[in-house]
Amino acid sequence: MKLGKVEFCHFLQLIALFLCFSGMSQAELSRSRSKPYFQSGRSRTKRSWVWNQFFVLEEYMGSDPLYVGKLHSDVDKGDGSIKYILSGEGASSIFIIDENTGDIHATKRLDREEQAYYTLRAQALDRLTNKPVEPESEFVIKIQDINDNEPKFLDGPYTAGVPEMSPVGTSVVQVTATDADDPTYGNSARVVYSILQGQPYFSVEPKTGVIKTALPNMDREAKDQYLLVIQAKDMVGQNGGLSGTTSVTVTLTDVNDNPPRFPRRSYQYNVPESLPVASVVARIKAADADIGANAEMEYKIVDGDGFGIFKISVDKDTQEGIITIQKDLDFEAKTSYTLRIEAANRDADPRFLSLGPFSDTTTVKIIVEDVDEPPVFSSPLYPMEVSEATQVGNIIGTVAAHDPDSSNSPVRYSIDRNTDLERYFNIDANSGVITTAKSLDRETNAVHNITVLAMESQNPSQIGRGYVAITILDINDNAPEFAMDYETTVCENAQPGQVIQKISAVDKDEPSNGHQFYFSLTTDATNNHNFSLKDNKDNTASILTRRNGFRRQEQSVYYLPVFIVDSGSPSLSSTNTLTIRVCDCDADGVAQTCNAEAYVLPAGLSTGALIAILACVLTLLATPHTIGDLSSLTRDRTHVSCIGSIES
Ligand SMILES: *[C@@H]1O[C@H](CO)[C@@H](O)[C@H](O)[C@H]1NC(C)=O
Ligand SMILES: *[C@@H]1O[C@H](CO)[C@@H](O)[C@H](O)[C@H]1NC(C)=O
């Protein structure tokens, strides 16, 4: 059964011919799709629409409306009784229909990439009755793609890196272009990649856009960056295709393909012998064209006569080798050193070892320069001893210093007066002999630490320092004396032979075997009938009564001269007077009342404390119970508890 003819083949273009055929096949599909519609309710009705899917080219630029196609019903006898009506997407705005002829035109430029299909509905009405002569049916206007979109690199521009010296064909990066045209139809969206800039170093795979290295031995040290321009062209890259480009910046990354090399075969440095240990003598650097870890250096001393004297380490920032001194230099001992220094890359790349060893050596000569050095004493410290009895001008000892320089200038000695402010000592400027300048006293200053200066007579700014510790030796030049001021009392009820005082002595001298004191009463007191002295032979002596019946009213104070002798050679002695007061004592021999005139307040007791003691005694007397208790207490204990209660 024949349904009608396809009218849009009027559109005379090459493409139109193709569309015509594809339109036919689309018509078949369309018909089979719309079959169920006809079968429902009007299954008997003979279908008489001239029916199609229409195709219209996008981007039509002409001034007249573009002819799309023609609706036709077999019922239409061409007598004008049939009216065609269009509805649906874009009806009457984009697509208009001639209601008499059924011709459809597009009034606007269409863009497939904006909308690829329009779905419309067609009706054929009897112009008189306005009744449909055909069932309403849906049809599609498909916008036909033309190649109106160029490929675009949405991710460009690209940056990428590849190691230098990579083999040919090493992948660098993949670039991708997208084309908005219809990928399912024709070649409008089929792109091919090519390289416009960057040859002969790099290539691009036409289909995949993978960029690869195209030259071997690309050397970062020669050129480290390349700017590539990659083109994507649609229509499979053929003439007339649209194209887009992107740039790819390729950076060659470093590999360790350059060994370190000293720029010079030898170096020479002059160093003053006075340079302190740990000082930097020299900085040398092996050149390395690589960067980063591939240029990291290790230095070592591999030969020469400077082992132990010099050390080389690496400055992590500059990769320089730093030579430092490890021991004091001495021009007078050795005037030059030769070091063989090796520099090596920390990380060598085995691939490039064939280029030669990744290390290099150089010679560093270090010339030690003479420096005018101050005189040096033969000893850092001179201990000396001298008796405090020594005569002024006597020799104590001798110091010696010499100029270490080869000139060996004579030196002159002096005493640093800041260390001998009182000028006890002199030094002979030429001989270094130290003598006393005034008499010494061990008991004032037992040790004199003095500094002696040695000055080069040619160059007074060169001063060496020596230290002398002069110990003053003791002589027995101090007599012994009482160890303290004794407060001695004797009770009126004292019995003969009673010890009333134990005495000891002190002496400012310091005999090497320790003190030995001898006590006695002076010769004029040996016939003393009142007191006697007993030397305890342990540097103490006891004073005893010789009689009883001491009376305050009779004699309230006795003065007893005590003679003390030391064991020095010769020995020294002194007479010290012991003051003995007579007191009224209780039954236990504790003094109650002494002669007021002779009463000396114990040092350290304030008047306030004394008043407190008196108040305490009064309180004790005023309390009957306490008085009774008092007899059973010693005088001392009462005294102590009173002080305690008042102070708290
Ligand atoms: C002298 O020097 C020694 C150390 O050398 C020190 O122990 C001593 O206290 C010094 N004496 C004086 C009096 O400065
Ligand atoms: C001993 O005591 C008596 C009586 O007080 C006195 O006269 C005499 O001078 C005293 N002797 C000495 C040596 O002090």
- CATH assignment at residue 310: 2.60.40.60
Pocket test for ligand 1, best of 445, 447, 465 (most atoms within 8 A of CB): 447
Per the CB < 8 A criterion, the answer to whether 573 and 566 are in contact is yes
Give, using CA atoms, the residue closest to atom 10 of ligand 1.
449
User: How far, in Å, CA of 407 to CA of 585, rounded?
Assistant: 89
Q: Are residues 89 and 106 both part of a single domain?
A: yes
| pLDDT-flagged residues of the chain (< 50) | 1-46, 598-648
User: How many structural domains is the chain composed of?
Assistant: 6
Does the CB atom of residue 522 touch ligand 2 within 6 A? Answer: no
Name the pairing type of β-strands 531-535 and 540-545: antiparallel
Classify residue 171: in a domain, yes or no.
yes
Classify residue 601: in a domain, yes or no.
no
Does the CB atom of residue 77 touch ligand 2 within 6 A? Answer: no
Classify residue 286: in a domain, yes or no.
yes
pLDDT at 49: 59
pLDDT at 48: 59
Classify residue 261: in a domain, yes or no.
no
Ligand nearest to the CA of 554: 2
Q: Which atom of ligand 1 is nearest to the CA of 446?
A: 13
Classify residue 111: in a domain, yes or no.
yes
Please write down the HEC assignment for all residues of 227-285: EEEEEEECHHHCCCCCEEEEEEEEEEECCCCCCCECCCCEEEEEEECCCCCCCEEEEEC
Give, using CA atoms, the residue closest to atom 11 of ligand 2.
528
Q: Are residues 172 and 249 both part of a single domain?
A: yes
Does the CB atom of residue 524 touch ligand 2 within 6 A? Answer: no
Q: Are residues 9 and 81 both part of a single domain?
A: yes
- What distance in angstroms lies between residue 449's CA and the mean position of ligand 1's atoms? 6
State which of 353, 369, 385 marks the end of a domain. Answer: 369
Classify residue 600: in a domain, yes or no.
no
- What distance in angstroms lies between residue 518's CA and the mean position of ligand 2's atoms? 25
**How many CB atoms are located within 10 Å of the residue 220 CB?**
22
Q: Are residues 518 and 577 both part of a single domain?
A: yes
Q: Which atom of ligand 2 is nearest to the CA of 558?
A: 14
Q: Are residues 183 and 60 both part of a single domain?
A: no
Q: Are residues 383 and 466 both part of a single domain?
A: yes
User: How far, in Å, CA of 245 to CA of 31, rounded?
Assistant: 45
Does the CB atom of residue 516 touch ligand 2 within 6 A? Answer: no
Q: Are residues 11 and 130 both part of a single domain?
A: yes
Q: Which atom of ligand 1 is nearest to the CA of 381?
A: 5
Give, using CA atoms, the residue closest to atom 10 of ligand 2.
530
pLDDT at 164: 93
Q: Are residues 336 and 397 both part of a single domain?
A: no
Does the CB atom of residue 530 touch ligand 2 within 6 A? Answer: yes
Structural domain of 467: 376-473
Which whole-number Å values give the CA distances from 502 to 310, 495, 558, 603, in the listed order? 74, 17, 16, 20
Q: Are residues 30 and 135 both part of a single domain?
A: yes
User: How far, in Å, CA of 117 to CA of 140, rounded?
Assistant: 7
Q: Are residues 17 and 126 both part of a single domain?
A: yes
Q: Are residues 622 and 583 both part of a single domain?
A: no
Classify residue 208: in a domain, yes or no.
yes
What does the buried/exposed string (b/e) look like for 364-399 if buried means 16 or more CB atoms within 10 Å of the residue's CB?
Answer: bebebeeeebbbbbeeeebebebebbbeeeeebeeb
Instruction: Dihedral sign for Cα 494, 496, 502, 508, please.
Output: positive
Q: Are residues 99 and 225 both part of a single domain?
A: no
User: How far, in Å, CA of 302 to CA of 336, rounded?
Assistant: 17
pLDDT at 595: 67
The one-letter amino acid code at 167 reads P
Classify residue 540: in a domain, yes or no.
yes
